[in-house]
Structure 1
Amino acid sequence: MEMFWTAGIGILLSQEYWMPDVPQGSRRICALLQPLRIVGSQLCHHIWAAPLLRLCYRSIEMTRSSNIAVLANRDALDVQALLSRTVTAWRGTGMRIVGVIAENNDVAGACSAGLLRDIVSGRSFSIQLDAAPAGTTCHLDSRGVEDACAELLPGIATADVVVLSKFGKLEAMQQGFWRAFSAAVAAGKPLLTTVSSRHAEAWRAFAPQAEWLQPDNPSIEQWWHTVRPLSGNSEQHGTTTEERAAQQ
């Protein structure tokens, strides 16, 4: 039995398990075990074929949370309000959050969001055209989206988490917040966003490793608990959105 567990540890240590998308705490633990990796690789050479150990390793890989989380943006579901509540609670703990939240308007047409609010500055960006382009009912002004993206880009490097209102048609064409999405992923930052079914395919092509969350506070908090960076505010970060709201 002792040989079995030693071999199992050897397999884990012999793999590239400390990758950039692994939570920082896990990377630190693996780094401490790095000297054992040579032994692990030798054991692995002899017993990797064991089906049970392969299953064990796959299970660990499958349960590892992605730094990227997405909520399905469905009709009758106000995911922007959910993002806004989450951001408000997180900021109350001192977390450094960079991104934007969309705010709805009463304009008739396919595009309901008329403003983007920058989370850091509170500045609002109009993304609504006075008249929809010919052949469409969408009033989306891409220039407003680009301006909002340009403002938040410099803050991504020092953010604890990036929250972007959605991955939509502009991002599917590598416009809009595409640079912000790309910068957050390249920096290894936890990223939370939303996407509608019509752009789900483009989203999966951009972030196939993203974790799809249920649109509720517990699911978001569970994801954040597994990917949050270690910091001086870690104890506060461990509380849930509901608990923080009750304290305020």
Structure 2
Amino acid sequence: MFTRNARLILAVVYDDGIVADRVLSELGYALRDQGVSVKGLVQRNTFRRDRAKCDMELEELGSAAVFQLSKDRGKHAGGCRLDREAIASAAALIGPALGEGADLLILNKFGRSEAEGGGLREIVAASVSLEIPTLVGVPRRNLEVWQKFAEGLFDRCGIDEVQALLSWVKHRTGRDIRLGTSGFARSERRENAIISN
């Protein structure tokens, strides 16, 4: 399906962040379990009965370090709960690790911080300069900003196009990965669902 001209970056576009977090986490863990040198961040969500929103953690795949991403501001608190210092701490681990080499970089989200010009943008730029294949989750609401940032240097697929996602990963890592039996990771979409930009 892919040629030598396949791009180094795959943007995985999604509407449902919970589904994206599950698929990208499962993919990262499966690659790591198979001995692939995978770096980057995946998000884990824990739901609590007494909270309207889930608790969020980031795991850096290379080191397995975990960062508390959400601030607990109380049962009825509104507004942003994102701990930007946690993102900065995680990014501080990834940057030097990329210099040691990696087969693949996974970043769970090109989110608000990145859309505003910060966050993990520098990590994406570093991975491209080091020619490390990079998979980035991109919420549809940030797709236009992502396209301007990545300047057409990426392929894309939807989060529900699992076979296309796995085909890209196989092309880039040489590994056949199977995701679990959970319904969120199932798709009958065709393998050629990758769109070049």
**Normalising TM by the smaller chain, what interval?**
0.7 to 0.9
Task: Report what 1:212 is aligned to.
Answer: 156
Q: State yes or no: 1:85 paired with 2:26.
A: yes
- Please, what TM-score do these two structures have when normalized by structure 2? 0.76
Kindly name which structure, 1 or 2, has the bigger radius of gyration based on alpha carbons.
Answer: 1
Cα separation, partners in 2 of 1:227 and 1:149, compared to 1, 3 Å:
same
Cα separation, partners in 2 of 1:149 and 1:227, compared to 1, 3 Å:
same
Q: 1:181 aligns with which of 121, 124, 134?
A: 124
| Structure (1/2) with the larger strand percentage | 2
- Please, what TM-score do these two structures have when normalized by structure 1? 0.61
Cα separation, partners in 2 of 1:103 and 1:76, compared to 1, 3 Å:
closer
Q: What is the CA-CA distance between 1:142 and the residue it aligns to?
A: 0.8
Q: State yes or no: 1:197 paired with 2:125.
A: no
Q: What is the CA-CA distance between 1:178 and the residue it aligns to?
A: 1.8
Q: What is the CA-CA distance between 1:76 and the residue it aligns to?
A: 7.0
Q: State yes or no: 1:108 paired with 2:52.
A: yes
Partner secondary structure for residue 102 of structure 1 = strand
Deviations along 1:145-187, one digit per CA (max 9) or x if unpaired, are 1111101111113011000111011012222212211111221
Q: State yes or no: 1:130 paired with 2:67.
A: no
Deviations along 1:185-215, one digit per CA (max 9) or x if unpaired, are 2211100111112211110011122111132
Cα separation, partners in 2 of 1:173 and 1:113, compared to 1, 3 Å:
farther
Q: State yes or no: 1:94 paired with 2:35.
A: yes
Cα separation, partners in 2 of 1:99 and 1:150, compared to 1, 3 Å:
same
Matches within 5 A, 1:1-248: 26=4, 64-75=5-16, 78-106=19-47, 107-108=51-52, 112=54, 114-131=56-73, 137-157=79-99, 158-207=101-150, 208-215=152-159, 216-228=161-173, 234=174, 237=175, 239-241=176-178
Does the 8 Å CA contact 2:31/2:177 hold for their aligned counterparts?
Answer: no
Cα separation, partners in 2 of 1:168 and 1:213, compared to 1, 3 Å:
same
Partner secondary structure for residue 170 of structure 1 = helix
Unaligned runs of 5+ residues in structure 1 are 1-21, 27-63, 229-233, 244-248
Instruction: Give the Cα separation in 2 of the matches to 1:130 and 1:242.
Output: 32
Cα separation, partners in 2 of 1:129 and 1:213, compared to 1, 3 Å:
same
For these two proteins, the number of residue pairs brought into alignment is 171
Instruction: Give the Cα separation in 2 of the matches to 1:227 and 1:75.
Output: 26
Task: Report what 2:191 is aligned to.
Answer: none
Q: Could you tell me which amino acid in structure 1 is paired with residue 72 of structure 2?
A: D
Q: What is the CA-CA distance between 1:217 and the residue it aligns to?
A: 3.1
Partner secondary structure for residue 115 of structure 1 = strand
Q: Could you tell me which amino acid in structure 1 is paired with residue 90 of structure 2?
A: A
Q: What is the CA-CA distance between 1:113 and the residue it aligns to?
A: 5.8
Does the 8 Å CA contact 1:70/1:192 hold for their aligned counterparts?
Answer: yes
Cα separation, partners in 2 of 1:222 and 1:213, compared to 1, 3 Å:
same
Compare relative contact order (CA 8 Å, sep 6+) and give the higher one, 1 or 2: 2
Does the 8 Å CA contact 1:86/1:217 hold for their aligned counterparts?
Answer: no
Q: What is the CA-CA distance between 1:96 and the residue it aligns to?
A: 0.2
Instruction: Give the Cα separation in 1 of the matches to 2:16 and 2:70.
Output: 20
Q: Could you tell me which amino acid in structure 2 is paired with residue 214 of structure 1?
A: G
